Amino acid sequence: MSGGLAGLGRSVTLEVVAGHAGVSRQTVSNALNAPGKLRPETLRRVQESIAALGYRPDRHARSLRTRAAGALGYGLAPGGSGGLADRFLPALCHATEMSGRSLLLFTARPSREGLVAYDELLSHGVVDGFVLSHVVPGDTRHAWLAQRGVTFTSVGRIWSGEQPGPWVDADHAAGIEAAVRHLHSRGHRRIALLGCPPGPGAAEDRVVGWRRACRAIGLPDEELLLTRAVDGIAGGRAGTAQLLDASPRPTAIVAVSDDLALGAVHAITERGLRPGLDVAVSGVGDSAVCTAVRPALTTVRLPIEEMARRAVRLLDEAAVPVLESSAGLLLAPELIIRDSTPPPAAP
Amino acid sequence: MSGGLAGLGRSVTLEVVAGHAGVSRQTVSNALNAPGKLRPETLRRVQESIAALGYRPDRHARSLRTRAAGALGYGLAPGGSGGLADRFLPALCHATEMSGRSLLLFTARPSREGLVAYDELLSHGVVDGFVLSHVVPGDTRHAWLAQRGVTFTSVGRIWSGEQPGPWVDADHAAGIEAAVRHLHSRGHRRIALLGCPPGPGAAEDRVVGWRRACRAIGLPDEELLLTRAVDGIAGGRAGTAQLLDASPRPTAIVAVSDDLALGAVHAITERGLRPGLDVAVSGVGDSAVCTAVRPALTTVRLPIEEMARRAVRLLDEAAVPVLESSAGLLLAPELIIRDSTPPPAAP
DNA sequence: CTGAAAGCGCTTACAG
DNA sequence: CTGAAAGCGCTTACAG
């Protein structure tokens, strides 16, 4: 434990403020927690004293009394979160503060072993709710928390059975749909999908979006070209190699992640073709690599900041412990059009 | 405020444990905080009760009594932290937990206005120390905190005058030196530097490292080629264009950031030259783009995780408020060699 | 609308 | 080594 504030006469307490304003402690407390109970003139006098003395209620005393921590917990996977943290955390932190609480960061895997960390925080009274992200299919955290009546919101879906508790997610299918429609409007007709191995999750929802868009646009079934690859640059490269073997070759490849899209760019280049010009490419995520690579990658940008904000708002609304209610919120991603998706080259 | 734990009979208090073990509350408290004061047999009995009942001391009650929050604060810039967060935060979080505290995230700019957030946290008693990062030259936070006797560590230096408080930093000069030596060992002799506009800071330290390495290696002064550009892909592209106009052309470009290096790759390509083969390139940061681009970028990887660990350790050691002591720790970066720095092409 | 009082759960001198 | 007591700073019924 550290030394804390060693400085000059530290604690300005309720008592001190009361003395300064010439009222009782109770009145000062009311000025803070129930201003309506005070006569306007008294209220003003107390507020002046508070300001003059720079009084801040001690959070621990308050929490001890009210039995509310006033803090939200967010579990970070030990290894890092794969680039998401950089947009998500500042937004989550800000949203939490706007709702009048603190954000406590802690280390916990999303897997079952991670639950002990959630349990600890709860039983020490350090937090009174959680924001969950990096949800894995079949995540056990939601049921565990809901069963204990703990407030929480999920950023991302479980993708299996009933999902306990409120959640926010990006409309992944709609994002891919936007990419397909964009390519179609640019004149592309053979729009292949570079997906991930089948299984419940956001990646599969993107495959659904592609199917839906192709059908809506009226692309004949024979044109539907789909390859699945393990997410990553290497996977994208291998998957694209297969797609490029098809004849006629697709003129556009819609990848379900930026890394897959990047792999596609490399595979296209290795064939002696020009990414963008000969084969258009789009990704998902709007990661830093999109603008680093040439041609700059068209991508589906997920509404990460908005998801963070909504997650906290849902938490506020779910003041009543949510046992069965399952309010979901689907947020539209945004298509960021860059150089990798021009009109197709004349044959 | 949220509902908190609504579940079954929540609070297992000291009192309950004492009753279960057949001792007084004081004894249970001692079992936790001063086990040496108990007879071994009593200690064991109490510990069994604690385990059986799943007792966890209420943090707020404890903090109220001990006047120590048991938490560290880390201020996040509202806009995001430019890719650093993804490696730094998990490491910082883990290190904080290992030292027995919690990590509180909050929103605050590194500038002077940000100080109110630090002040708030302190006066509410929410944290008893801070870890500072994203230090800007002439950062006011250090002096402000030191003056108040607040415990803190800085990740990164102020680069101006005396720096109050302990700090950790990467040895930026040494990192660039390693890059230059590596290129030299591969046969390069015209090793240009792509730096940032002059001014105190890590970027300038990298320029120093380049100079030092060139001198140590014995490169003649006429070979020293230096251009300065605003950090970013566009800046790197413009700066490299200048470097490539020199004759004879440099065979290698050492950039002081990955983004500058990336810009260099683009500029080289636009000249019809092959990055890596015709002109070698290295960066700093080991960001995601390094492996996304072809050729994969050789880069100086900063010891972010180690810096986080050390920062917390320094904080532990600085139990006594540091007013004038200024213990600095310089950590060696690691050169990651990839495809962008092969031997020079035969002329 | 205000004042005196109890109590949240813990730690820490202080006697035994 | 243990037990009874005070008190950290706050909130919240409860009388006036």
In this predicted structure, the answer to whether residue B143 has a pLDDT above a threshold of 90 is: yes
Cβ–Cβ pairs < 8 A, chains A and B:
211
Task: Give how far A216 is from chain B: nearest CA, Å.
Answer: 34
Closest CA to A121 of A164, A165, A154, A74: A74
DSSP state of A344: P
Distance separating alpha carbons of residues A227 and A321, to the nearest angstrom:
44
- Verify whether the Cβ–Cβ distance B125 to A59 is below 8 Å: yes
Q: Do B289 and A294 touch (CB under 8 A)?
A: no
The pLDDT value recorded for residue A80 is 73
N-terminal to C-terminal alpha carbon distance within chain B: 71
Summarised one tens digit per residue, pLDDT across range B292-308 is 999 999 999 999 999 99
Query: Model pTM?
Result: 0.93
**Residue B15 confidence (pLDDT) above 90:** no
Kindly give the confidence (pLDDT) of every residue in chain A, 347 residues in length, as a single tens digit, with 9 standing for 90 and above: 333 333 334 578 998 899 899 898 889 999 998 888 888 888 999 999 999 999 999 999 999 999 999 999 999 998 777 777 889 999 999 999 999 999 999 999 988 889 999 999 999 999 999 999 999 888 999 999 999 999 999 999 999 888 899 999 999 999 999 999 999 999 999 999 999 999 999 999 999 999 999 999 999 877 789 999 999 999 999 999 999 999 899 999 999 999 999 999 999 999 999 999 999 999 999 999 999 999 999 999 999 999 999 999 999 886 554 444 558 899 999 999 999 999 988 76
Asked whether the predicted pLDDT for residue B156 surpasses 70, the reply is yes
Residue A11: the pLDDT is 78
Q: pLDDT (tens digit, 9 = 90+) per residue, A153-189?
A: 999 999 988 889 999 999 999 999 999 999 999 999 9
Q: Are B171 and B222 in contact (CB under 8 A)?
A: no
Which of B51, B71, B126 minimizes the C-alpha distance to A123?
B51
Per this entry, what is the length of chain A? 347
Task: Name every chain A residue with its beta carbon within 8 A of the beta carbon of B82.
Answer: 86
Residue type, B17: V
The sheet that has A191-195: what strands, in order across it? A226-228, A191-195, A252-255, A280-284, A298-301, A334-336
Cβ neighbours for B264, distance < 8 A, ≥ 6 positions apart:
B194, B236, B237, B239, B240, B243, B253, B255, B275, B279, B281
CA distance A190 to A184: 9
pLDDT at A8: 38
Half-sphere exposure of B36 (CA within 13 A, CB side): 0
Query: Is there contact between B29 and strand C, defined as CB under 7 Å from any strand atom?
Result: yes
Answer whether A83 sits within 8 Å of B288, measured CB to CB.
yes
Q: Token match 């009048």: residue?
A: A100
Report how far residue B189's alpha carbon sits from residue B58's, in angstroms, rounded to the nearest whole number: 64
Position of tokens 């086990």? Answer: B35
CB spacing of B85 vs A86 below 8 angstroms = yes
Q: Tell me which DSSP letter residue A168 carries.
A: E
Separation CA A308–CA A132 (nearest Å): 10
Q: Which domains, and CATH codes, for chain B?
A: 14-57 (1.10.260.40), 71-170+304-332 (3.40.50.2300), 172-302 (3.40.50.2300)
pLDDT, position A326 = 58
For the segment B258-290, what is each residue's pLDDT rounded down to a tens digit? 999 999 999 999 999 999 999 999 999 999 999
> Which candidate, A229, A225, A227, places its Cα nearest to that of A248?
A225
Instruction: Express each pLDDT in B81-128 by its tens digit.
Output: 777 788 999 999 999 999 999 999 999 998 888 999 999 999 999 999
Of B56, B69, B103, the CB nearest to A124: B56
For residue B22, the SS3 value is coil
Residue B313: in which H helix or E strand, if any?
helix B304-317
Decide: residue A289, CB within 10 A, 0-12 exposed, 13-18 middle, 19+ buried.
Answer: buried
Provide the shortest C-alpha distance from residue A97 to chain B (in Å): 8
d(CA B301, CA B179): 11
Distance CA A197, CA B75 (A): 39
Q: Which pair of tokens denotes residue B134? A: 């994203």
The residues that bridge with B59 in the sheet, in sequence order, are: none
pLDDT given for residue B318 in this prediction:
67
Up-side HSE of residue A156: CA atoms within 13 Å toward CB? Answer: 20
Q: Which residues contact B222 (CB under 8 A, 6 or more apart)?
A: none
Q: Are B81 and B92 in contact (CB under 8 A)?
A: no
Pairwise CA distance, residues B58 & A19, whole Å:
31
Kindly give, in sequence order, each residue whose CB lies less than 8 Å from that of residue A309, ignoring residues fewer than 6 positions away: A91, A95
Which pLDDT value is given to residue A4?
A: 33
Query: In sequence order, what E strands does chain B have?
Result: 71-76, 102-107, 129-132, 151-155, 167-170, 191-195, 226-228, 252-255, 280-284, 298-301, 328-331, 334-336
Whether residue B128 lies within 8 A of chain A, CB to CB, comes out as yes
Residue A221 distance to chain B (closest CA, Å) = 33
Compute the nearest-CA separation of A71 from chain B (Å): 9
Averaged pLDDT of chain B? 91
Q: Tell me what the mean pLDDT of segment B154-176 comes to.
A: 94
Strand D: which positions are within 7 A of a protein CB? Answer: 1-5, 7-13
Secondary structure letter of residue B198 according to DSSP: S
Residues of B in contact with A4 (CB under 8 A): 67-69, 128-129, 151
Q: What is the pLDDT of residue B24?
A: 86
Give which of A238, A268, A232 is closest to A341, Cα–Cα: A268
Label the pairing between strands B334-336 and B298-301: antiparallel
- Interface contact B233, partner A, CB < 8 A: yes
> With a CB-CB cutoff of 8 Å, which residues 236-275 of chain B face chain A?
259, 262, 266, 269
B185 Cβ contact list (under 8 Å, min separation 6): none
Return the structure tokens found at A86.
């950089």
Return the structure tokens found at B75: 């201020």
